[in-house]
Homo-oligomer: A and B are copies of this chain.
Protein backbone atom coordinates (compact mmCIF):
# COMPACT_ATOMS: atom_id res chain seq x y z
CA UNK A 1 0.00 0.00 0.00
CA UNK A 2 1.10 3.47 -0.77
CA UNK A 3 -0.27 6.33 1.30
CA UNK A 4 -3.25 8.19 -0.11
CA UNK A 5 -1.85 10.65 -2.71
CA UNK A 6 -2.27 13.78 -0.58
CA UNK A 7 -0.73 12.12 2.49
CA UNK A 8 2.21 10.98 0.35
CA UNK A 9 2.59 14.54 -0.92
CA UNK A 10 2.58 15.92 2.63
CA UNK A 11 5.24 13.43 3.72
CA UNK A 12 7.49 14.21 0.78
CA UNK A 13 7.01 17.98 1.26
CA UNK A 14 8.09 17.67 4.91
CA UNK A 15 11.42 16.17 3.85
CA UNK A 16 12.45 19.64 2.59
CA UNK A 17 13.25 20.40 6.24
CA UNK A 18 16.90 19.85 7.18
CA UNK A 19 17.55 16.63 9.08
CA UNK A 20 14.12 15.23 8.22
CA UNK A 21 14.11 12.00 6.23
CA UNK A 22 11.21 9.89 5.08
CA UNK A 23 10.57 8.18 8.41
CA UNK A 24 10.63 11.39 10.48
CA UNK A 25 8.41 13.07 7.88
CA UNK A 26 5.87 10.23 8.27
CA UNK A 27 5.94 10.70 12.03
CA UNK A 28 5.46 14.45 11.65
CA UNK A 29 2.60 14.09 9.17
CA UNK A 30 0.69 11.66 11.39
CA UNK A 31 1.35 13.76 14.47
CA UNK A 32 -0.01 16.89 12.78
CA UNK A 33 -3.05 15.09 11.38
CA UNK A 34 -3.89 13.40 14.68
CA UNK A 35 -3.06 16.04 17.21
CA UNK A 36 -2.31 19.47 15.84
CA UNK A 37 -4.24 20.44 12.72
CA UNK A 38 -4.50 24.06 13.86
CA UNK A 39 -0.76 24.30 14.36
CA UNK A 40 -0.18 22.80 10.93
CA UNK A 41 -2.57 25.27 9.28
CA UNK A 42 -0.80 28.13 11.04
CA UNK A 43 2.59 26.78 9.98
CA UNK A 44 1.35 26.65 6.39
CA UNK A 45 0.24 30.29 6.46
CA UNK A 46 3.40 31.52 8.20
CA UNK A 47 5.64 29.62 5.77
CA UNK A 48 3.94 31.40 2.86
CA UNK A 49 4.16 34.80 4.53
CA UNK A 50 7.76 34.38 5.60
CA UNK A 51 9.02 33.12 2.24
CA UNK A 52 7.24 35.97 0.46
CA UNK A 53 8.21 38.83 2.74
CA UNK A 54 11.50 38.01 4.45
CA UNK A 55 14.34 39.41 2.39
CA UNK A 56 17.85 40.63 3.08
CA UNK A 57 18.33 43.95 4.87
CA UNK A 58 19.58 46.44 2.27
CA UNK A 59 22.35 47.59 4.56
CA UNK A 60 23.60 44.59 6.50
CA UNK A 61 22.16 41.69 4.47
CA UNK A 62 20.63 39.90 7.45
CA UNK A 63 17.10 38.48 7.18
CA UNK A 64 14.26 40.93 7.78
CA UNK A 65 10.81 41.70 6.42
CA UNK A 66 11.61 45.45 6.41
CA UNK A 67 13.82 47.16 3.84
CA UNK A 68 16.38 47.98 6.51
CA UNK A 69 16.56 45.91 9.70
CA UNK A 70 16.00 47.16 13.24
CA UNK A 71 19.70 47.25 14.13
CA UNK A 72 20.67 49.22 11.03
CA UNK A 73 17.82 51.69 11.64
CA UNK A 74 19.02 52.50 15.18
CA UNK A 75 20.87 55.88 15.14
CA UNK A 76 22.67 55.00 18.39
CA UNK A 77 24.25 51.97 16.80
CA UNK A 78 25.28 53.86 13.69
CA UNK A 79 26.95 56.52 15.83
CA UNK A 80 29.16 53.87 17.44
CA UNK A 81 31.07 53.70 14.14
CA UNK A 82 32.00 50.04 14.66
CA UNK A 83 31.08 47.47 12.03
CA UNK A 84 31.12 43.76 12.84
CA UNK A 85 31.47 41.31 9.95
CA UNK A 86 29.84 37.91 10.45
CA UNK A 87 29.08 34.95 8.21
CA UNK A 88 25.40 34.38 8.98
CA UNK A 89 22.31 35.89 10.64
CA UNK A 90 22.63 33.25 13.38
CA UNK A 91 26.00 34.79 14.29
CA UNK A 92 24.32 38.19 14.69
CA UNK A 93 21.91 36.59 17.13
CA UNK A 94 24.71 34.92 19.11
CA UNK A 95 26.59 38.21 19.42
CA UNK A 96 23.45 40.20 20.28
CA UNK A 97 22.67 37.77 23.09
CA UNK A 98 25.94 38.71 24.81
CA UNK A 99 24.78 42.38 24.96
CA UNK A 100 28.45 43.35 24.66
CA UNK A 101 28.45 44.87 21.17
CA UNK A 102 26.78 48.17 20.37
CA UNK A 103 27.71 48.72 16.73
CA UNK A 104 26.22 47.60 13.43
CA UNK A 105 26.70 44.40 11.47
CA UNK A 106 27.45 43.25 7.98
CA UNK A 107 26.34 39.69 7.20
CA UNK A 108 28.33 37.96 4.44
CA UNK A 109 25.83 35.08 4.10
CA UNK A 110 28.75 32.71 3.55
CA UNK A 111 32.52 32.88 3.23
CA UNK A 112 35.10 33.04 0.46
CA UNK A 113 35.48 29.56 -1.00
CA UNK A 114 37.13 29.49 -4.43
CA UNK A 115 36.72 25.71 -4.61
CA UNK A 116 32.92 26.15 -4.55
CA UNK A 117 33.10 29.13 -6.90
CA UNK A 118 32.25 31.65 -4.15
CA UNK A 119 34.18 34.86 -4.75
CA UNK A 120 34.17 38.33 -3.14
CA UNK A 121 31.12 39.52 -5.11
CA UNK A 122 29.02 36.55 -3.91
CA UNK A 123 29.47 37.43 -0.25
CA UNK A 124 28.64 41.11 -0.77
CA UNK A 125 32.15 42.55 -0.53
CA UNK A 126 31.35 45.09 -3.28
CA UNK A 127 28.51 46.47 -1.15
CA UNK A 128 30.76 46.35 1.90
CA UNK A 129 33.42 48.42 0.15
CA UNK A 130 30.87 51.04 -0.93
CA UNK A 131 29.57 51.17 2.62
CA UNK A 132 33.04 51.56 4.13
CA UNK A 133 33.76 54.44 1.73
CA UNK A 134 30.50 56.27 2.51
CA UNK A 135 29.95 55.68 6.23
CA UNK A 136 32.12 57.01 9.05
CA UNK A 137 33.34 53.59 10.20
CA UNK A 138 36.27 53.79 12.60
CA UNK A 139 36.78 50.07 13.18
CA UNK A 140 35.83 46.84 11.47
CA UNK A 141 35.64 43.77 13.73
CA UNK A 142 36.12 40.54 11.80
CA UNK A 143 33.99 37.88 13.49
CA UNK A 144 34.01 35.22 10.78
CA UNK A 145 34.33 31.61 11.94
CA UNK A 146 37.80 30.34 12.90
CA UNK A 147 37.86 27.92 9.95
CA UNK A 148 40.20 27.97 6.97
CA UNK A 149 37.61 29.76 4.83
CA UNK A 150 36.60 32.09 7.65
CA UNK A 151 40.23 33.09 8.23
CA UNK A 152 40.81 33.65 4.51
CA UNK A 153 37.70 35.81 4.33
CA UNK A 154 38.85 37.81 7.35
CA UNK A 155 42.26 38.38 5.77
CA UNK A 156 40.73 39.51 2.51
CA UNK A 157 38.47 42.04 4.26
CA UNK A 158 41.35 43.21 6.49
CA UNK A 159 43.39 44.08 3.38
CA UNK A 160 40.42 45.97 1.98
CA UNK A 161 40.13 47.94 5.23
CA UNK A 162 43.85 48.70 5.23
CA UNK A 163 43.68 50.14 1.74
CA UNK A 164 40.82 52.39 2.96
CA UNK A 165 42.69 53.35 6.14
CA UNK A 166 40.20 51.75 8.49
CA UNK A 167 41.32 49.74 11.52
CA UNK A 168 40.46 46.06 11.12
CA UNK A 169 40.54 43.74 14.12
CA UNK A 170 39.97 40.01 14.49
CA UNK A 171 38.10 38.50 17.43
CA UNK A 172 40.43 36.65 19.83
CA UNK A 173 41.07 32.94 19.51
CA UNK A 174 41.95 31.11 22.69
CA UNK A 175 40.77 28.88 25.48
CA UNK A 176 36.96 29.07 25.85
CA UNK A 177 35.69 30.19 29.26
CA UNK A 178 34.91 27.14 31.37
CA UNK A 179 37.13 24.91 29.19
CA UNK A 180 39.92 22.77 30.58
CA UNK A 181 43.43 23.16 29.18
CA UNK A 182 43.84 19.38 29.15
CA UNK A 183 41.15 18.96 26.52
CA UNK A 184 41.90 21.97 24.31
CA UNK A 185 43.40 21.22 20.88
CA UNK A 186 46.95 22.28 20.11
CA UNK A 187 46.07 24.90 17.53
CA UNK A 188 43.76 26.74 19.95
CA UNK A 189 46.41 26.58 22.70
CA UNK A 190 49.01 28.05 20.36
CA UNK A 191 46.61 30.90 19.61
CA UNK A 192 45.98 31.35 23.35
CA UNK A 193 49.70 31.70 24.02
CA UNK A 194 50.50 34.01 21.14
CA UNK A 195 47.49 36.16 22.01
CA UNK A 196 48.36 36.46 25.73
CA UNK A 197 47.73 39.77 27.48
CA UNK A 198 49.49 41.55 30.33
CA UNK A 199 47.61 41.44 33.63
Binding site for B on A (CB under 8 A): 1, 3-7, 9-10, 13-14, 16-19, 24, 26-34, 36-37, 39-51, 53-54, 63-66, 69-71, 88-90, 92-93, 96-97, 109
A1 with B47: in contact, given A24-B19, A30-B89 (CB under 8 Å)? no
A63 with B13: in contact, given A19-B24, A41-B51 (CB under 8 Å)? no
Q: How far is the CA of A28 from the CA of B19 in the complex (A)?
A: 9
A17 contacts B33, CB within 8 Å?
no
**Copies of this protein chain in the complex:** 2
A-B contacts, 11 listed (Cβ < 8 Å): A1-B92, A5-B65, A9-B46, A9-B49, A16-B42, A17-B28, A17-B32, A30-B63, A30-B90, A40-B47, A44-B44
User: Which partner residue on chain B sits nearest A49 by CB separation?
Assistant: B6
A34 contacts B1, CB within 8 Å?
no
A54 contacts B16, CB within 8 Å?
no
